[in-house]
Amino acid sequence: MRVTCTQCGIEFNKPPCQVKRVKKVFCSKKCHDESQTVYNGKPCEICGDIFKYRGNMNRYVTCSKPECRKEKVRREHEKVKKGTKAQRVAEIRRKNPDKRYLISVKHLYGITAIEYRKRLDQQNGACAICGCIPDKKLVVDHCHISSVFRGLLCHSCNIGLGAFKDNELVLMRAIEYLREHGKHLTVQKGESDGE
């Protein structure tokens, strides 16, 4: 499509899709820059020098010197590291260590904090399998096929169920194995106690 440059009046070819999106058409960057209004009197945040800027550059806060731009980027990175949001998040995590775990439980298993605490009260704070009260939080046990919440277990019992892949037949064999070999151990313990 033949168009005319808004600044210098030269005719040139431009794809129709690019012409429809803009009000003014320029043949080069030079013509574009010349059409922009130039403003004076904006101080650079880094070096303090007054620099000129064009109409579309009013958001700039530093001059075009490479050292000023590098310093601006460095300050932005520093601000992100020390940012108030990061500090708030760290403070919240330090004050409420359980809250983060309960949020992840809600996200992974669909169990709210209220449901978790209700089940914890039902189990009297103890593991549903071995009955111990661990130092750490009880973990959520769920069916790996249907994702149904089953109960709260200590870390060891949860790892044990996972190692047996929730297979009842294998667990029954393990019980038989322990009964078979446990008799020998209990007899030895009983004899040693009597002596």
**Which pTM was predicted?**
0.46
* The pLDDT value given to residue 54: 67
Q: Give the chain's domains with CATH numbers.
A: 1-35 (no CATH), 38-82 (no CATH), 97-194 (3.40.1800.10)
Contact indicator for 25, 19 with CB cutoff of 8 Å: yes
Q: How far is Cα 166 from Cα 97, in angstroms, rounded to an integer?
A: 30
* The pLDDT value given to residue 195: 40
Q: How far is Cα 192 from Cα 184, in angstroms, rounded to an integer?
A: 12
Which residues, in sequence order, are CB contacts of 30 under 8 Å at separation 6+?
none
Confidence of residue 57 (pLDDT cuts 50, 70, 90): low
pLDDT digits over 82-107, tens only? 667 777 777 777 888 778 788 888 88
Confidence of residue 44 (pLDDT cuts 50, 70, 90): confident
